[in-house]
Amino acid sequence: MLQIDCPWCGPRDETEFSYGGEAHIVRPSDPDATSDEAWADYLFMRTNPRGRHAEQWCHAHGCRRWFNVVRDTVSYRIEAVYRIGGQGPGGSHDPA
């Protein structure tokens, strides 16, 4: 089980959290003008990397707030935790 350091509550067991998948996916600003391909990419296509992964978690059984985590998908080691809109540690899957 992972131990996740909630930015508001501190380190807690993984079972207190729910997983929200890949982070930093931006909804197309004008869906009517978005092609089916671009919409499918937004809705379904995922990076699913083997290695560093920026992802969303929610402290469902705690403060119920969402935040971002950078985690290695092979070692499962958590590299960084940062708030929504906050600055990630840098790297290819992090916000520019």
Task: Name the residues that contact another protein, by CB under 8 A.
Answer: 1-2, 14-15, 18-19, 21, 36-37, 40-41, 43-50, 53, 55, 71, 73-76
Residues near 95 by beta carbon (within 8 Å), at least 6 away in sequence: 24, 54, 87, 88
Residue 67: CB minimum distance to another protein, A: 14
Residue 83: CB minimum distance to another protein, A: 19
Residue 31: CB minimum distance to another protein, A: 13
The phi-psi region of residue 75 (left if phi > 0; otherwise alpha if psi is between -120 and 50; otherwise beta) is alpha
| C-alpha torsion sign, points 79, 85, 90, 96 | positive
